[in-house]
Amino acid sequence: MTVRALCLSQDDLGELTRALAAAALPVGDLQEPCRTFFRLDDEGGPIGYGGWEGRGADRLLRSLVVSPSRRGQGLGRSGLATIERMARQAGAARLHLLTTTAADFFRSAGYQDADRGDAPPSIRASREFSSLCPASASYMIKDLASA
């Protein structure tokens, strides 16, 4: 199965915002700079959305979400692999994330639990890290070079 990623412009963020809000994921900072979001599609149509925040080697994976009608088909893993590949191509060496509901999913995809205090300054400075996600959220990292 081939998953395609269509880069969203600032004008295209309405669909993303609705999908994230429906999944109870943060939407308060989507319009801020240094965010790259994608609509994920396959031959069956739209799968969901995902992206990252930041520049440089360390980036924050942002809100991977699969449309309710497409869940349970392994598309989350395929979409995540597509986002990771694109992040590598854009110069990322590591993806960081915060999650309150999907830690097991991300662990099964090679993300490792980490101490929030060890996060790089660029990650700690993000709104998601500093205020949008609760302190109880799992902080995880994946080294993309070894993926």
**pTM recorded for the entire structure:** 0.91
- The CA-based angle 2-139-108, given to 5 degrees, is 40
Give the CATH number of the domain where residue 93 resides.
3.40.630.30
Residue 47 belongs to domain spanning: 4-146
Q: Locate all alpha helices (DSSP H) within the chain, ordered by sequence.
A: 13-22, 75-89, 103-108, 121-124, 127
pLDDT of the chain along its 147 residues, tens only? 689 999 999 888 999 999 999 988 888 888 888 999 999 999 999 999 999 999 999 999 988 999 999 989 889 999 999 999 999 999 999 999 999 889 999 999 999 999 999 999 999 999 888 887 878 889 999 999 876
Overall number of domains in the chain: 1
